[in-house]
Structure 1
Amino acid sequence: MARKVNYGIIGCGMMGREHLRNIMLLPDTRIAAIYEPDQQMRRAAAKIAPEAMLVDSTEALLNIEALDCIVIASPNMAHVGQLEQMAQLRPLPVLVEKPLFIHPEDRPRIEKLMRDYPAPIWVAMEYRYMPPIARFLERLDEATGGLKMLTIREHRFPFLHKVGAWNRFNRSSGGTLVEKCCHFFDLMRLAIRSEPVRVMASAGQAVNHFDETYDGRTPDIWDNGYVIVDFANGARAMLELCMFAEGARYQEEISAVGPAGKIEALVPGPGRFWPGHLGPPPIAQLIESPRAPRGPVAIEIPVDPALLEAGDHYGSTFYQHRRFRAALSGHQPVEVTAEDGIKAVLMGLAAQESAVTGKAVDMDQGIRSKLPEIC
């Protein structure tokens, strides 16, 4: 019988609990210990993983000898400090939620940690592992004949409520184009296989959160935007984000076009938000539209209902953890490295800067360290 891999979890808000449910679907795994300071979230996590030990600090978690790896799903502003604490006390293999960091001045800290950390660091970019997007990436070259234009559209619901409202403010989240969108910038780099050279953005707060106050402050997080990215190989990409469009049939619509044709992935949002009177939730589609002979071909890409029940990301969290588990056992390399995490954040920071200043940002000139909207 294979030995169980023992996981420690830091942070059990919505995403942390999704990690719990999906890890527990893997064979030969065990949630050994949880650190979650919020009592409500702590109780919710204990219901999912009743055998896990509940501890009161990151240090106490790391002192549990049986642990084989850590998942960090804490609020964004805590990631860097918790990684540094792990590096100092016990550098276990770690899967850390995106974004890897949120402020430009944190980049040297992450780069030092990346150089010195003796164990695998995997940055959680769930969208890579959604089955329709994974299939999109597999078929990309043949369907397009060489990608020239990539468009990512996300039309979804507003930011959900989080403990302490940390996701309502740029200073603790990094800003919408970092917090929400860095995984889309990761997808751009992955699909285009080149590095960004220029970022242009227009974004703002149009509809959401104006009627909310926390300690006398109104949220400043953006709810819509456009981002255009030029890449070194001549390809270009665009992100369109709207966070007051939960009535859409599909949450993500991704298209790539090249000289041979077009390929699209259409991904529904969380099934728990789908209105029951409309019947079953939609199923993801992959559509290929060659230029010759003309005629789009669409196929459905369903996901196991058990995986849909385990989280809001169309099964991707399970598939990501399965591959992380394979990396832990040495059967494959880390697929989403700390360097990938850094580059995705830098693209988000550049987009935040462009939207604030109204100017394009050249990536080789670096990101300004102080911007009112993200500090």
Structure 2
Amino acid sequence: MRVAIVGCGTMGTVHTRNLARMPDVQAAGVCDQDAERAAAAAAIAGTAAYTELDELLDKERPEAVIVCLPTYLHKETVIRIAERGIHVICEKPAASTLEDARDMEAACRKHGVRLFIGHVVRFFPNYRNAAEHVKAGAIGKVRMGHFKRHGSFPRGWDLWYHDRERSGGVIMDLMIHDIDFARSVFGEVESVYARITPPSVSKLEYAQVTLKFAGGAAANLTAFWGYNGPFTTQFEIAGDDGIIRFDSNQVQSFDLKTSAETGEQAAVQVPQSPMLRDPYYDEVQHFIQCIRTGTEPLVTIDDACKAVEIALAAERSAKLGQPVALEVAPR
């Protein structure tokens, strides 16, 4: 399959490197408005560099395009690609608004192409293992969760991260990873309560969000832009029969503890390093396989739209100072 990339920043470079070593896939050009950045990415995969998307699409005729542009450019770019009859893999979040995300979905459906949104946390080994243990009932009925994601304040193209209208802030851009994952584990969200420390001149933005799920569970999520230490992710998922913990800073990266019928606790430690397999590689390979076979992806466009909806509800809650209810479709 011929796959092109538009946007040659950090994520575009990661995807270019992975395409270069993916079997049965050919990098079909890269595009960036910065000619030097495009050339650097193209050299990685031995493909052509472009500064205009239409020129790339005309000359390379890719079967799929990976969109790695700032969030506020997703809708326009995805629709342009879909109108050419080309499948799209787009970095998260899907869009800045739910309406834009649904417009992207509708355009891809109209033109008969697939749209995938890169919520890559579902492909990280420790997170995927945790979800599998929960699904298998290893800790019984899940009741509570706590998710953390801390990193330095991002430096984006044209400083777009600094503009909340374009980036969506720390919830839409960073916490949305854990919003999507928590929903995949706990189910539909029925209410959201959030607090946000507004970004300051020192580039600090901290958000705390509580999600209440239709099944009765609850989860607390924190995200922090401006952390001085290493990029850190943590989670804790508690059920009736045990607890799963993960801390990216710990050598023992995955810890599952369950309660035996005698009441005694036994630890089953499953070490998994995210570096053993590149989750971004696995993610794109999975989406390409879905294109080839017509199967449903691990992360659907509905999942991506729900994540946007929840993130926007959290922003509203922070402004109102009170919980925001979400409509939950009956099952």
- Pairs aligned (count): 324
Once residues 115 and 42 of structure 1 are traced to their aligned partners in structure 2, the CA distance between those partners, rounded to angstroms, is 30
- The alpha-carbon distance between structure 1 residues 332 and 260, as it changes in their structure 2 partners (threshold 3 A), is same
Is the 8 Å Cα contact of residues 38 and 51 (structure 2) preserved in structure 1? no
3-state SS of paired residue (1:67): coil
Q: Is the 8 A contact 1:97 1:123 kept in 2?
A: yes
Alignment of structure 1 residues 175-194 onto 2, 5 Å: 175-192=169-186, 194=187
Q: 1:295 aligns with which of 246, 266, 269?
A: 266
Aligned counterparts of 1:99 and 1:189: Cα–Cα separation in 2: 15
Match of 2:28 among 22, 32, 44: 32
User: Can you give the 5+ residue segments of structure 2 that lack an aligned partner in the other structure?
Assistant: none
Deviations 1:115-159 (A, max 9, x none): 4241211110111101111111111142221211121112x3222
Which of 262, 266, 282 does residue 247 from structure 2 map onto? 266
2:17 pairs, out of 21, 24, 44, with: 21
Q: How many Å apart are 1:304 and its aligned residue?
A: 4.9
Measured after TM superposition, the shift of residue 104 of structure 1 is: 4.7
In structure 2, the residue matched to 1:343 is 306
- Look up the equivalent residue of 2:113 and give its one-letter code: A
SS of equivalent to 2:266: coil
Residue 120 of structure 2 is aligned to residue 120 of structure 1: no
Q: Give the whole-Å Cα distance in 1 for the aligned partners of 2:41 and 2:294.
A: 30
**Correspondence for 2:206 among 221, 224, 227:** 224
Which residue is 2:201 aligned to?
A: 210
Shift of 1:200: 0.3
- Give the letter aligned to residue 47 of structure 2: A
1:285 is matched with 253
Q: Which has the higher strand share?
A: 2
Change (3 A) 1:284 1:41: farther
User: The residue matched to 1:180 in structure 2 has which SS?
Assistant: helix
Question: Corresponding residue for 1:79?
Answer: 74
Q: Give a deviation string over 1:84-104, Cα, whole Å, max 9, x none.
A: 11232x121111001111035
| Cα distance in 2, alignment partners of residues 102 and 118 from structure 1 | 24
CA distance in structure 2 between the aligned counterparts of 1:69 and 1:284, rounded to whole angstroms: 38
What CA distance in whole angstroms lies between the structure 2 residues aligned with 1:348 and 1:172?
A: 14
- Greater RCO, 1 or 2 (C-alpha within 8 Å, sep 6+): 1
Structure 2 Cα separation of the partners of residues 94 and 258 of structure 1: 37
Contact 1:284 1:302 in 2 (8 A): no
Q: 3-state SS of the aligned residue for 2:296?
A: coil
TM-score norm. by structure 1 comes to 0.80
| SS in structure 2 at match of 1:181 | helix
Matching residue's letter, 1:285: S
Relative distance call for 1:330 and 1:105 in structure 2 (3 A) is closer
- Structure 1 gap ranges (5+): 212-218, 269-281, 308-314, 366-375
